[in-house]
Amino acid sequence: MAVRGLGRLALCSGHRQTRNCHCLARIHGELLKLGIDVGETSVGKYMVRRRKPPSQTWRTFLENHLKTMVSVDFFTVPTIRFQVLYVFLVLAHDRRRILHFGVTAHPTAEWTAQQLRDAFPWDTTPRYLLRDRDRILGDEFTKQVKDMGIKPVLSAPRSPWQRAYVERVIGTLRRECLDHVIVFHEASLYRHVKSFVAYYHESRTHLSLAKDAPESRPVQRPEVGRIVAIRQVGGLPHRYERRAA
């Protein structure tokens, strides 16, 4: 056992030449000199290893820039006449607020660039803008982003998980509103989305916000009064409040 350990010791010192191997070899050598017949691999098993700091993960990047990043995305909604309408969303990662939305039947880079200008008037531009590689977001949109001093961040192809915040909001909007209504035209869709956005900001609680709404709701104690249900978004969800008798 000791001979095998010494053989590996020579290999480590002669070929690998790393700091960890040198430390291991020295400790093993000292143990041998103390008459402790143990293999070098056994010594290495109990050595404290220094871990290199991991590179920044995608999740860490999003969390580090939570207050300075927004996401944008399109999703489609069919009308009762099978026309396809496009909804453009701008979502602030901080507090999950929907900053702006637009509805159109003919999305273009120029129209999308104008939506971006409407979303960030004056000095309210974020530092980063996360988006996918959709061709709708063409040269005109890219130029507008850079002119506004925003740094674009592109997600990897076919990787919606990298835009999880905005994708989750789109899923919520579909499941809790659009899957239950009939859309006739652009104006109809705009009204439905506007109604849901108001509910989403003021009433709907979010797990990621510690069960609070994007626009924080105060806690109403039992002594305030009885509980009443308030219909919202046409009666699909309800908000519950306490009212004095």
Residues 50-68, mean pLDDT to the nearest whole number: 82
pLDDT of residue 4: 46
**Buried b / exposed e along 15-51 (16+ C-beta atoms within 10 A):** eeeeeebeebbeebbebbeeeeeebbeebbeeeeeee
What pLDDT band is residue 228 in, cutting at 50, 70 and 90? very high
pLDDT in tens, 171-219: 999 999 999 999 999 999 999 999 999 999 999 999 889 899 999 999 9
Helix axes 109-119, 139-147, angle to 10 degrees: 20
pLDDT in tens, 2-46: 444 444 434 344 444 445 676 788 888 888 878 888 888 888 888
All structural domains of the chain, each given as residue ranges with its CATH number in brackets, are 2-45 (no CATH), 58-209 (3.30.420.10)
What are the phi and psi torsion angles at 123 (to 5°)?
A: -105, 40
pLDDT of residue 5: 44
Q: What is the pTM of this model?
A: 0.74
pLDDT of residue 53: 61
pLDDT in tens, 116-175: 999 998 888 999 999 999 988 888 888 999 999 999 999 999 899 999 999 999 999 999
**Region of 111 on the Ramachandran plot (φ > 0 left; ψ -120 to 50 alpha; else beta):** alpha
pLDDT of residue 75: 97
DSSP string computed for 175-223: HHTGGGS---SHHHHHHHHHHHHHHHHHT--BGGGTSB-SSPPPPPPGG
